[in-house]
Amino acid sequence: MNRFDAAGEATGHRTPVLIVGGSLVGLSTSLFLGRLGVPHTLVERHAGTSIHPRGRGNNVRTMELFRSAGMMRPIQEAASVLALNNGILQTPSLVGDVGEWLFKNIDPGGGVARFSPAGWCLCSQNDLEPVLLKRAGELGGDLRFATELMSFEQDAEGVTAQVKSRGTGEHTTIRADYLVAADGPRSPVREQLGIGQSGPGDLFHNVSITFVSRGLVDVVGDRRFIVCYLTNPEADGALLPVDNRERWVFHAPWHPEHGETLEEFTDERCTEHIRRAVGVPDLDVEITGRAPWHAAQRVAERYADGRVFLVGDSAHEMPPTGAFGSNTGIQDAHNLAWKLAAVLGGWAGPGLLASYDAERRPVAETTSSRAAARSVEHSHPGYTPGPGSGGPQGKKGGILNEVLGYRYPQGAVLGADRTMPVVSDGLRLNGEPGSRAPHMWLNRAGTQVSTLDLYERSLVLLSSEDGAGDWHTAATRVAQQMSVPLDSYRIGAGPDAELSPASDTDWAEAHGVTPDGAVLVRPDGFVAWRSEGASADPGAALRQALTAILGRD
C-alpha cells in the first residue's frame, strides 16, 4: 500500500473501489457510486475524455438511470445540437429524393411515455463524457487521468494494484476492497484473469472518418437523420451528422482480412469515397481525422473473478447498430454499483455480488445477438453476414422490448419465473419479480413523480394505504431490526398515504398484486419480490425475502 515519490518516501493510498478505465462506462460507474456515497478511485491512461464523436445513442433505460442520478438536464443541454435528429435513412445517394427510411421517428406517436418518464437521447460520447466527469468529481470521485494500471493482485481481503502516472512516471500502490474493470474490449484486466470469451468474434471492420464540409448541409436538406446508410456499391458507408452544419463522420468499410491496411485510407481516397457515396463529385471535403473500429460479438465467460468485476466492453462487445453496447455497459455499472454499496455498507452479504454475473451476462448474450441481427437488418456497410444470420426478410422492427423488457430470471430476486427468457415477445412490465418495475405517475406532497423516481439509494416497499395487513409498519420495524435502508410508501387517497395515484390508475393492478399485497423494489428499479395478496405475518414474510435477496445469513 505504498506510493513512492522522487525522494523514495512511502505513503499509502486506500480506497473501497478502484475503477480501471475512465471512458463512458467507467465514468458512469463513478457517477453511480458517488451518488450512493461510496468512496472510490478511477484511473484512466488517456489524458482526457474522448475526442471522437461516437457512441451517441442513449436509450430509454440508460436515460432513466441518468434521470435518477439527477443528470437529465445537463445531458440534454450537451445533446441539444442533435435534439431534432430522428430516424435512420438508407439510400444509394443523397442527391434527390431517393431511398427509404428504415424508421423516420424513433418514438412514433410518443408511445414510450406509456412505459417511462424518460426518452431516447442522442448525445455523442465526446459531449457526454465531460458532463459525467464533472459531476463524478463533484460527488467526490478521485479521478486520475493519464494514469495507467500496470499490474494487480488480489487476495481474500482485497486487491492491490500498481498504477503509473504517464505524466510524471510516478508509481503508486493502491489497495482496494474491489476492482471494477472498465478497460475496454482488449481489457488487460480480463486477460490477466484468464477469462475467455464466447461468440462469433469479429463481424466486420470500418474506418471512422471525421471531416468538415460546408456544402453537405444543403445536400442533406431537411432530412434530420441519426445515421444515413449510403448504399452505392462502389462507395458505400454510413454518414452521421456531428453538428448538422459542417462537422460530419463517415464510416467506410475496411477489410484487413483481405490485407487492406489503415495507411491506404489517405485523405485523397477518403475524400473521393465520401463524394461518390453522397453523390456530389465536387463536394467540399476536408478530412480531419480517421480511426479504425471493429464490430464484434463476444461475451466474457464470467463477469467476476474474486473481488474483480468486468463492466462494459471488457465484459461484452456488440455491433453498433441499435446502440446496445454502451447502453448495456452503463446498465452493467448501475447494477453493480448498488450491490457494491450494499456490501460495503454492511447491509448485504458478499453473496449479493454473485448476482451481478447471474443477471448481467445473460442480458449481454441476448443483446449482442440482437445487435448483430440489427446489423443485418440495416445492411450495415462492410458486413457480409454468414449463413443463418438473417437478412432483409427477417426485419424485426423496433427495439423497445430489448431496451426496457429484459429481465433477470436468476439473481437477487425472489419468485422470478426461471423458465422465462431474458427477453420475451412483447413488452411485459407488470411487476413480475426480475423485471423493471412499472412506471406510473404519482403525487407526492404536491409534486408529480414517477414510481421510478423512488428507486436509487434504498430498497422500496409499495403497499396500499388501506391494504389488509400493515405492510408499512412491518417494513419500518424490519428495516430497523436488519439495519437495511428500506423506504416504505403507502399509496392511496387518504391522509396516511405518502403517494396518491391519478384517478384513472390502479397501482396494485399495474404491479400484479391485489390491494392487500406489496411489492419490494431494488435500488436499480427492478422488482425483487412481491406478495400478491395479504400475509398473515407481513414482517416475517418481508424479513425472509430480504434475507434471501441480500445474501444475508
For residue 6, name the pLDDT band (cuts at 50, 70, 90).
very low
Closest CA to 36 of 306, 489, 343: 343
| Section 344-373 average pLDDT | 95
Confidence class for position 439, pLDDT limits 50, 70, 90: very high
**pLDDT value of position 56:** 82
Neighbour-count burial of 157, counting CB atoms closer than 10 A to its CB (0-12 exposed, 13-18 middle, 19+ buried): exposed
Mean pLDDT confidence for 216-220: 96
Tell me the pLDDT band of 2, cut-offs 50, 70 and 90.
very low
Per-residue pLDDT at 520: 98
Triad 301, 303, 308: Cα angle to 5°: 130
CA angle 261, 264, 266 (to 5 degrees): 145
Q: What's the pLDDT at 372? A: 84
Q: How confident is the model at residue 322 (pLDDT cuts 50, 70, 90)?
A: confident
d(Cα 221, Cα 219) in Å, to the nearest integer?
5
Rounded to 5°, the CA angle 467-469-475 comes to: 100
The pTM of the full predicted model, rounded to 2 decimals, is 0.93
Mode of pairing for the β-strands spanning 159-165 and 171-181:
antiparallel
pLDDT at 512 over 70: yes
User: Residue 379, exposed/middle/buried by CB under 10 A (0-12, 13-18, 19+)?
Assistant: middle
Architecture of the domain delimited by 199-296: 2-Layer Sandwich (3.30)
Cell of 95: 442527391
- pLDDT for 11 beyond 50: no
**Can you give the pLDDT at residue 394?**
39
Where do the CATH 3.50.50.60 domains begin and end in the chain? 3-79+118-195+298-404
In whole angstroms, give the CA distance from residue 213 to residue 333.
38
405 CB-near residues (< 8 Å, 6+ apart) = 423, 424, 426, 427, 428, 429, 435, 436
Instruction: For residues 364-369, give the mean pLDDT.
Output: 93
Q: Look up residue 55 and give its three cell numbers.
A: 457512441
Residue 4, pLDDT score: 30
Residue type, 306: G
Half-sphere exposure of 161 (CA within 13 A, CB side): 32
The model's confidence at residue 267, banded by pLDDT at 50, 70 and 90, is very high
State how beta strands 237-241 and 247-254 pair: antiparallel
What value does the mean pLDDT take over residues 126-154? 97
Question: Does 377 have pLDDT greater than 80?
Answer: no
Assign 12 a pLDDT band (cuts: 50, 70, 90): low
Query: Taking the domain 441-549, which CATH number applies?
Result: 3.40.30.120
CA distance 522 to 539: 18
The average confidence (pLDDT) of the chain is: 91
Band of residue 51 on the pLDDT scale cut at 50, 70, 90:
confident
Pick the CATH number of 3-79+118-195+298-404 from 3.50.50.60, 3.90.650.10, 3.40.50.880, 3.30.70.960: 3.50.50.60
Does 389 score more than 50 pLDDT? Answer: no
Q: What is the C-alpha separation between 355 and 549, in angstroms, rounded?
A: 9
- The pLDDT, as a whole number, for residue 40 is 98
Q: What is residue 373's predicted lDDT score, i.e. its pLDDT?
A: 83
Residue 1: its pLDDT value, please?
35
Residue 468's pLDDT is 62
Where is average pLDDT lowest: 5-9, 174-178, 438-442, 466-470? 5-9
Rounded mean pLDDT, 269-281: 97
The pLDDT-based confidence of 398 (bands split at 50, 70, 90) is low
Q: What is the mean pLDDT of residues 295-307?
A: 96
Using the predicted structure, report yes or no on whether residue 503 has a pLDDT greater than 80. Answer: no
CA distance 112 to 19: 34
- pLDDT at res. 7: 34
Give backbone dihedrals phi and psi of 496, rounded to 5 degrees, phi first.
Answer: -90, -5
User: 391 pLDDT exceeds 50?
Assistant: no
Give span(s): CATH 3.30.9.10, the chain.
199-296
How large a percentage of the chain has pLDDT more than 70? 94
Phi, psi (rounded to 5 degrees) for 416: -75, 150
Regarding predicted confidence, which is higher, 294 or 334? 334
Question: Does residue 5 surpass a pLDDT of 50?
Answer: no
Residues of CATH 3.40.30.120 domain(s) within the chain?
Answer: 441-549
> Average pLDDT, stretch 173-189?
97
Interval 440-474: pLDDT, tens: 999 999 999 999 999 999 999 999 998 666 999 99
The pLDDT value given to residue 397: 53
- Mean pLDDT score, 29-54: 94
